[in-house]
Structure 1
Amino acid sequence: MITFTVSAFVTFLTIIDPVGLAPVIIGLTAHLNDIQRNNIITRAIVISAIIIAFFALVGRVLLDRLGVSLYAFNIAGGVLLFLVAVDMLFGRSSGTRETKAEEEEAMTREDISVFPLAIPMIAGPGTIATTILYVNLATASGNPLSLLAVGAAIISALFAAWLVMRSSQWIIHLIGRTGILVLSRILGILLAALAIQFVLNGILEFIQVSKLGK
């Protein structure tokens, strides 16, 4: 249970990548004072929590309605997370988080808490896929505590992200932009490994289902 909780926490914190968001937050809120910046960050985290909770509750229902099997979603979610990891490793701006057009539009917005911070930077496709993946894993385990573990991991990751983003200026001053890039690459390696594990889990489940069907 502890291993599962830690794995979920690390995955959520890595996919959110609050340290990597630090320069973006500073750039988008350069015209605001510290109080305004912190208020925007807090709103973004709250909105993200609501979005994540929504998909945690209805994600499985959506998959069932669409006729998508769990192993197919495991594979698709793993591939999506792997693409995010590759972008982190090579220091590219991930299209799964925001496009160039979205970034340019955000520069003209007064309140960026909903867009682009909450969506797609914090609660983007990668985070949503991770949420559904872990909720499915917890449900399949048959242990009610597993769902509580996922909830605790999500809350802890969002709280950690909130703390890190509020400290964006201090982090940039402490480790610099080069340090942030190095840390993002390290997290990218970890996320790539987790993504491959999701794909392998999906493939193994597909093989098991195929054998049972024969």
Structure 2
Amino acid sequence: MQLNFKEIFTAFMVLFAVVDIVGNIPIIIDLRKKVGNINSRKAAIISGVIMISFLFLGNSILKLIGIDVNSFAVAGSFILFFIALEMILGITLYKHEEYTSDTASVFPLAFPLIAGPGSLTTLLSLRAEFKIENIIIAIILNVIVIFIVLKTSKTIERFLGQNGISIVRKVFGVVLLAIAVKLFAHNIKALFEII
């Protein structure tokens, strides 16, 4: 086991930016208003399990169904793009489903909001560069941060206020849009190189 703190820190920061749990606070608050309560521990643990499982099985699963990482990343970039548009324009593009407090902790919170296409694609990219144990520690650290943010989202809402949340939502929407464009551009280029 070779622990490298530089690798852990870099992987943590990359995942933190892609998961964007702080930017998702408005969505979490909105979801909490709809369902009443969210199981923070369950959402954090399930998202961590999804990410660690995908770290080990991601390439195999994609190969099994005949999809390469770049195609998966391009599809993921579209999802991030539409989520970003919702955040920036204040519109709803996805169909509202009736969530209970129990199901909302898993879907849409743990997946695809936290452990979504962006973070799963990022994990496959990190695996090519870093040692697996360093990435696992980075995932665990992110899960702890996710749990803290989910647990304190009501306090954060009171602190920021409605206008503050609206500003944070729009700012992070632009950041997410930029990540989506970068993910799309990088992977579409790689796809054309393969063809």
When the two structures are superposed, what TM-score results if normalisation uses the length of structure 1?
Answer: 0.74
- Which residue of structure 2 lines up, in the alignment, with residue 195 of structure 1? 180
Distance in 1, Cα, partners of 2:128 & 2:42: 33
**1:207 and 2:195 equivalent?**
no
1:149 deviation in Å?
4.7
1:137-148 correspondence runs (5 A) = 137-141=125-129, 143-144=130-131, 147-148=132-133
**1:119 and 2:107 equivalent?**
yes
1:64-83 correspondence runs (5 A) = 64-83=63-82
1:114-193 correspondence runs (5 A) = 115-124=103-112, 127-141=115-129, 143-144=130-131, 147-193=132-178
1:100 to 96, 101, 109: 96
Contact 2:21 2:146 in 1 (8 A): no
Distance in 1, Cα, partners of 2:138 & 2:184: 21
3-state SS in 1 of match to 2:91: coil
Q: Which one has a bigger Cα radius of gyration?
A: 1
Contact 2:127 2:135 in 1 (8 A): no
Give unpaired runs (5+ residues) of structure 1.
31-36, 107-111
1:102 deviation in Å?
2.3
- Which residue of structure 2 lines up, in the alignment, with residue 6 of structure 1? 13
**1:25 and 2:21 equivalent?**
no
CA separation of 1:200 and 1:57: change in aligned 2, threshold 3 A: same
Identity of aligned residues (%): 19
* One-letter amino acid of the structure 2 residue matched with residue 47 of structure 1: I
- 164-173 vs 121-130, greater mean Cα deviation: 121-130
3-state SS in 2 of match to 1:101: coil
Distance in 1, Cα, partners of 2:22 & 2:115: 6
Report how many residues are paired: 188
- Which residue of structure 2 lines up, in the alignment, with residue 48 of structure 1? 47
CA separation of 1:4 and 1:205: change in aligned 2, threshold 3 A: farther
1:15 deviation in Å?
8.8
CA separation of 1:14 and 1:167: change in aligned 2, threshold 3 A: closer
Q: Please provide the CA RMSD for this pair.
A: 2.7
Contact 1:16 1:122 in 2 (8 A): no
* One-letter amino acid of the structure 2 residue matched with residue 129 of structure 1: P
* One-letter amino acid of the structure 1 residue matched with residue 69 of structure 2: L
Distance in 1, Cα, partners of 2:22 & 2:117: 10
- Which residue of structure 1 lines up, in the alignment, with residue 4 of structure 2? none
Contact 2:46 2:110 in 1 (8 A): no
When the two structures are superposed, what TM-score results if normalisation uses the length of structure 2?
Answer: 0.80
